Amino acid sequence: MALVDLVMPKLGEAIMEATVLKWLKNIGDRVQEEEPVLEIATDKVDSEVPSSVSGVLKEILYEENDVIRIGEVIARIETAVQENPGNDPLENALKQNTSITKPEDAVDEEHVQAVPYVPANTDTTRPAALEGTGANNGFYSPLVLNIARKEGIRLSELEKIEGTGNEGRLTKNDLLNYLADRKGSVAAPSVENKGPEASSEPPQMSTPPVTAGTKSSGNTEIIEMDRMRKMIAHHMKESQNISATVTSFAEADVTAMVNWRNKIKDDFEKREGTKITFTPMFIECVARVLRRYPMINSSVEGDKIIVKKDLNIGMATALPNGNLIVPVIKNADNLNLVGLAKQVNALGGKARKNKLSPDDTQRGTFTITNVGSFGSLTGTPIINQPEVAILAVGTIKKRPVVIETPEGDVIGIRHMMIVSMSYDHRIIDGAMGSMFLAEVVKEFESWDVNRVA
């Protein structure tokens, strides 16, 4: 027997502490390696802390709502070497993999060498490798294999489960969620929720769930804010208290962008396996202008201006429940349009599935919010602290406008969009803010309709 410390893992470069939301296990409960033990919350996202070993939870050192610093011991787990009778074909297959030794070894599911799926009734004398057709290539982690064997899941069924791990690998949580759905009552067919980063159509917002904090009286209903809504309210009000906010507006003719996207979007999706939306196109243009105006890519600490060399652009993403989160594309200026499109769609999908890691929302230096996804002409966005500026793009509308030509002015139908930018007047004056916004508009309007996607 041995006691193993379960410590608060590192959650992101700027995150130093987290709050205990809920213990998923009680003292005396058996836990498996990589099984979630408690839920925690940072100032951005909620996540789970998995057990690093298999054993019995012997001691809990923090209660719910306690704040824990990164690296501190949260709990202690008693472990013991598990005997392997050696008569299980799957266990024998696992033993043949030299990178996997004892079940109590603390191994990260995403970094362990994968072994092939071998059903319990399979002859182990056959070659071990299977030619899988799914994202896992026929290979799965030992933890996933153990669960699949115990639940009687065949390879054909396992390959159909969508994985959310590294390179699309199937994780333990993916499999457990699949089993929960399969064992539950027959659910209605799922409908893909297409948010502003995945489609030009806005997501359908659900009404706030009725909770224990909901009260009804006559013609009124009082709903307790959930934790994320409380945090959004705090951050938005705090931003207004910190920054001297000014908002400038401009109009952009984005006809070239619209026509180019309409021309290449089908071929782009077939070739790259992901959709091309306006968001990565906007990000590419903004990143080029940020390089020319480094003060916009900065923050303020007391009387000091901190100019950031990295261009980490956040994209405000609306969640189906009406809340908002801002995943960040790191070093956006180093990505081409294909890379930006994949990052936008991947982060947007993770956000809507509540799969964002704390690091996915950290170290942003500038934010873009697409209020046009919901039909708004424009908006006056609130700065995402500690950044000093945020750009809002409105809905794209066809309008008759005056076009200057060498032969004279003509009236034409163009795709027009209002762009607004809120910025911190403590360090960005109206001249700089207006010039930056004008340069962004020029980038939008000069989009090359003949470029190769």
Residue whose token pair is 């009734």? 121
Give exposure, 46-74, as e/b (b: 16+ Cβ within 10 Å): bbebbbbbbbbbeebebeeeeebeeeeeb
88, 111, 429, 448: the active-site residue: 429
Alpha helices, H only, 122-171: 142-151, 155-158
Rounded to the nearest 10 degrees, the angle between the axes of helix 142-151 and helix 172-183 is 20
* CA 184 and chain centroid, separation: 27
For residue 272, give the 3-state DSSP assignment.
Answer: helix
The CA–CA distances, whole Å, from 408 to 117, 403, 404, 405 equal: 71, 8, 6, 5
User: In the block, which residue shows the tokens 């109206």?
Assistant: 430
429 is catalytic: yes
Spatial separation of the C-alpha atoms in residues 417 and 414, rounded to whole Å: 10
Alpha-carbon distances of 88 from 33, 100, 124, 126, 193, rounded to whole Å: 20, 16, 10, 15, 42
d(CA 223, CA 391): 32
Distance (Å, whole) CA 129 – CA 95? 15
Q: Is 425 one of the catalytic residues? A: yes
Torsion sign across C-alpha atoms 394, 396, 399, 405: positive
Which residue in 46, 174, 359, 425 is the catalytic one? 425
**Mind telling me the catalytic residues?**
425, 429
